[in-house]
Amino acid sequence: MSLKILTFYLNGYQLGVDITSVKEINRNISYTPVPDAPPHIVGLLNLRGQVVTLFDLAGLLGLARTGTKQGHYCIILKTIPGNSSYAGFLFDEPGSVIDVTDEISEPPPANLNHPENNYIERVVKVNGEVIMVIDSKFVIS
C-alpha cells in the first residue's frame, strides 16, 4: 500500500487525511454558525457559491471542542459520488504531505472501541510520533 496523507494539527494533536480526498485548503475563513444545529456542525461556509457544511472534527474525535472562533484553516473534502454536498472541517495549523508505506502504517488498534475511533482509518508512525489518519468518508456521511 502506498498513500499520501496531508497532515495538520488540531488541539495539539497531529492528524492526517488521505490527500486524494481533499478538494482544497483555505485559511482565514469566515463562516456562519447555524442556530440549534447538532453539536458536530460548526456552521456553513459560502465557497464561491457552493454551501459547505463545516464539521467540528475535534468534537467528533472526542477532543476538546475547537470553539467557534473565526479565522481557522479549513480542509474542504471532495464529494462522495452521488452526493453533491460539500463538507469540510476546521483545524489549527497545517503540517506537510507524507508518503505512507506498509512499514510505517497499520490499522488502528482493536482495543480502541469508542465511537470516536470509527473516524480513524490508519495509524502512521513517523519519527517517533503517531499520526492518526482520519477516514474522510465518516466525517462527511
* 110-131 confidence digits (pLDDT tens): 776 666 567 888 899 998 899 9
Distances (CA, A) of 86 to 117, 134, 141: 23, 17, 11
Domain residue limits, the chain: 2-140
Is 124 in contact with 104 (CB distance < 8 Å)? yes
pLDDT tens figures, 21-39: 999 999 988 899 999 998 8
State pTM to two decimals: 0.85
CA distance 78 to 47: 13
Q: Measured on CA atoms in the order 20, 21, 23, 28, is the torsion positive or negative?
A: negative
- In words, the CATH class of domain 2-140 is mainly beta
